[in-house]
Structure 1
């Protein structure tokens, strides 16, 4: 293996693995409930080649799609690279050809104008199709059975944006998927394309609007009546890119904004609300309507959580000094003006997970990752350089919080929720947990946790025989959904 930079982006849990492999009948410690049947897909950034620049980051890693298949208490596993245009070009060249993170002006001239996305952020299931997505380009369709890459997805040419979000939202009752792309017509553009696809995966509408400035809109939310777009002051600048600089630089002095529009409306119907300067959130728990009120629950911090984005803006803050928490923003659409109410509802954390059935509606509880104050220093790794070591369950209505804290030297990746066929049961959470086994050695396990009793820890564990790289996001697809998709393919 070629030498990788010895920075936080390439050591610890971020150590490159670069192995495509598969295994059947993995060992199971405990018993996996019969109600868990389907596939847990994971997005895993893993560079296939050493980068062109030593200051490269984990988010530049080539996308790998991983799959835990669970049926009758048995577990199989497979992981393959997403064969994006970028991956194929570098595979043929046997070296890196694309330069700094989201900066095409630093690429080898032989790949000028080629697709730069690594499709490494989120697996998305909709309309019987599986996609791997990253917000700097279009998604890539993946065969959910073989994990082979089918190709770039643009709704048969109907979606005109150059980009597609890593966080679309699917309505649990209508089956529609709501999504967007920012920098929709090119680098540093303020244009955002907003689209809706029906339950069968057909694009039914697309509308465009301008955000107040070019920011990284990583996530958004829907309610039964609205689409909500938070805009935070992590900004792009074309002159900076042309000079070889960073795509994103956080502005602590710049106001944040939230745009709210009818979820089946047009871009011109957007109403903008002004928020506190300098704040940032990458992930939203949920949003819902309450008469004329719209509630938005998000993992908010007082500055950008990514060190390289802060530093590009001249902000020198230690990761441990960042303040924030699970926050509720409430917008009264019956009143004029651009202000809204803010209320802290939970401890700091990120990577939230909600029941699919609660999307865009009032919800009783949700889960997200945080830090265990008794778990010792966090393991190095993950997108921000430090891994989470606790899982929280929160009930915003009454403030109740439960925690599954990990031991010293352990880390946890974002969970997925599996609904239970049994009425009144909260279902289960699946997640990968890592443990440090030596100075540079880590071992991984798949954990199955009762979603309503997380403090009890795992009810089943699946030790992995090979090293695993930290994931970004995951998705659960039931056996029934997979079978339905296979039926459509056969027909």
Structure 2
């Protein structure tokens, strides 16, 4: 109980989040530089502002499989500009929830902003009021994490409900059909405003594992939700230098967290992104740590050290005897500043070796970690839902073509984790792809017995397109496209709910 009070007191501390009162720095210069570059570089439209609700049907190209039925829920930042000012970081935008209904040979789309407290207050004021992850504003003080909750990272269907997730605060419940905002959801009364990450993982029994992290607290919150939506177990673990952890992986017996080497600046006039100081370089470089937590005891079982790198997303993990194997996308150096470049109209360079998808092997007996490279420059790893926490042989990732001077995700790839070979499809120039997910057929006999479903942005035509691949033949190209007549905001993450 003492640990929980300590964590909550840090959650409610202005200094803990780096959102103390200060000068407003969301600025018109960033606004002007972005719009000055937009006409010459249509690929920047994925970082453009969105206003209002959207609804429409997709024009079907190809053949939409009759057995692909359900809803593809998606979420990402949609509002970057207000009152002539523009956010500095891609992660700052207000959440825009999207719903793709698929079935009976048709695809329909709906999108609307999550009506968070922050969104409503700033809409009324006509300008930004609160600091964001990568942009100091601080025109108005805040009460707790949920005052500044942007609900912009994932959309989770669970136990008949849908939640918009943001790792710094509570889940926000939405209506599954209309996407209307129902309000903040706390899993228990004393856990209001607690960080609840945007990357929960399913258990075979229908429950969920998740975590929460508050930079500077050195405490990791662990949540185990039952299949009926109630909180089954909760623990707070002490983990030193726990200043950034965005995702995790689960195996049958363990929870695995990769913690990159960041220090936290005490300067609370800075935004939270700027307070993260990279400690992975020079003679005093700290390692990337893999922290293994036992599902049974909810205690740290082991910690492994790897070369210093940063990381956002993990794929899957499984127990292989006394070894844990897991997928991760690892970056050379500090990756946090990169999403700031396109916000001011600069294209991100596609540097060889900037990151790679790897499979790690953590040997619990020896304490040693090994690493095998699976794929080059890539992001957004996903596996088939039926193999989460179990042995998997296929991993879906997006990739950036090696011959492109800019870092633009334009390939869809299904990697064989045993051979390292990838079944890949490259989109034409002017296209950018979002995270793709594997959707198994009802009685799937393998990880490729189903579809790879995602969204792509046709930036030259200013249109958003739902994409459907046969998971067994990705290189043959999409079997169906559903093209909207408009551009919907570019999303981070989502999940498919079968009919």
TM (norm. structure 2) is: 0.84
Question: 1:175, CA displacement in angstroms?
Answer: 1.3
- Taking a change above 3 Å as real, the CA distance of residues 308 and 53 of structure 1, as seen in their structure-2 partners, is farther
Q: Structure 1 residues 165 and 283, CA, compared in 2 at 3 Å: closer, same or farther?
A: same
2:105 match: 73
Are positions 1:346 and 2:375 aligned together?
Answer: yes
Q: Distance in 2 between matches of 1:87 and 1:283?
A: 27
* TM-superposition CA deviations, 1:246-267 (whole Å, max 9, x none): 2433322222111112113233
| Alpha carbons of structure 1 residues 306 and 151: separation in structure 2 relative to 1, 3 Å | same
* Aligned equivalents of 1:401, 1:109: Cα separation in 2: 50
| CA shift digits 1:12-64 (9 cap, x unpaired) | 321112231212x4321122111111101111211164278656212110001
SS for the counterpart of 1:404 is: strand
Shift of 1:234: 3.4
Q: Of 352, 357, 360, which residue of structure 2 is paired with 1:326?
A: 357
In the TM superposition, 1:400-411 aligns within 5 A as 400-411=421-432
2:118 is the alignment partner of 1:86: yes
- CA pair 396-101 structure 1, distance change in 2 beyond 3 A: same
**Equivalence for 1:284:** 314
What residue in structure 2 maps to residue 429 of structure 1?
A: 452
Q: Which residue of 388, 397, 419 maps to 1:359?
A: 388
* Cα contact 1:304–1:310 (8 A) shared by 2: no
* Corresponding pairs, count: 451
1:240 aligns with 2:267: yes
Q: Determine the C-alpha separation between the residues in 2 that align with 1:42 and 1:111.
A: 28
1:14 aligns with 2:43: no
Determine the C-alpha separation between the residues in 1 that align with 2:263 and 2:91. Answer: 17
After the TM superposition, which segments of 4 or more aligned residues of structure 1 sit over 6 Å from their partners? none
2:80/2:86 contact within 8 Å kept:
no
Structure 2 runs not aligned, ≥5 long: 1-26, 39-43, 342-347
Cα displacement string for residues 68-122 of structure 1 (whole angstroms, at most 9, x for unaligned residues): 101211111100111111111112222211134267x741135465611101001
| In structure 1, C-alpha distance between the alignment counterparts of 2:190 and 2:164, rounded to whole Å | 19
Cross-structure match for 1:475: 495
Q: Equivalent residue for 1:34? A: 66
- Partners of 2:351 and 2:132 lie apart in 1 by 27
Contact 1:299-1:349 at 8 Å conserved across structures: yes
Determine the C-alpha separation between the residues in 2 that align with 1:280 and 1:470.
Answer: 23
What is the DSSP-based 3-state SS (H/G/I as helix, E as strand, rest coil) of the residue aligned with 2:179?
coil
The CA deviation at 1:318 is: 5.6
**1 CA distance for matches of 2:83 and 2:400?**
31
Aligned position for 1:488: none
Matched, 1:297 2:317: no
Q: Which one of the candidate residues 417, 421, 433 is aligned to 1:396?
A: 417
> Contact 1:52–1:99 (CA<8 Å) still a contact in 2?
no
> 218, 222, 225: which one pairs with 1:190?
218
1:310/1:295 Cα in 2 relative to 1: closer, same or farther (>3 Å)?
A: farther
CA contact (8 A) 2:455 2:465 kept: yes
| Aligned-partner Cα distance in 2 for 1:125–1:147 | 12
CA shift digits 1:200-224 (9 cap, x unpaired): 1110100111222032111101111
Task: Tell me the equivalent position of 2:24.
Answer: none
Provide the C-alpha distance between the structure 2 equivalents of 1:125 and 1:272, rounded to a whole number of angstroms.
32
- Give the whole-Å Cα distance in 1 for the aligned partners of 2:228 and 2:478: 36
Shift of 1:305: 2.9
Q: What are the superposed Cα offsets for residues 342-380 of structure 1, whole Å, 9 maximum, x if unpaired?
A: 222332311112100010111121110011235x444xx
1:130 aligns with 2:159: no
State yes or no: 1:442 paired with 2:462. Answer: yes
CA distance in 1 between partners of 2:159 and 2:363 (Å) = 34
Determine if contact 2:200/2:210 at 8 Å carries over to the other structure.
Answer: yes
Matching of residues 367-378 of structure 1 within 5 Å? 367-373=396-402, 376-378=404-406
Q: CA deviation at 1:408?
A: 1.8
Q: Normalization by structure 1: what TM-score?
A: 0.85
SS in 1 for 2:396: strand
Name stretches of at least 5 consecutive residues in structure 1 with no aligned partner.
Answer: 312-316, 379-385, 480-491
Aligned mates of 1:352, 1:370 — CA distance in 2? 10
Q: CA RMSD in A?
A: 2.6
Residue number among 129, 147, 151 corresponding to 1:115 in the alignment: 147
1:451 pairs with 2:479: no
User: 1:307: how far off?
Assistant: 2.8
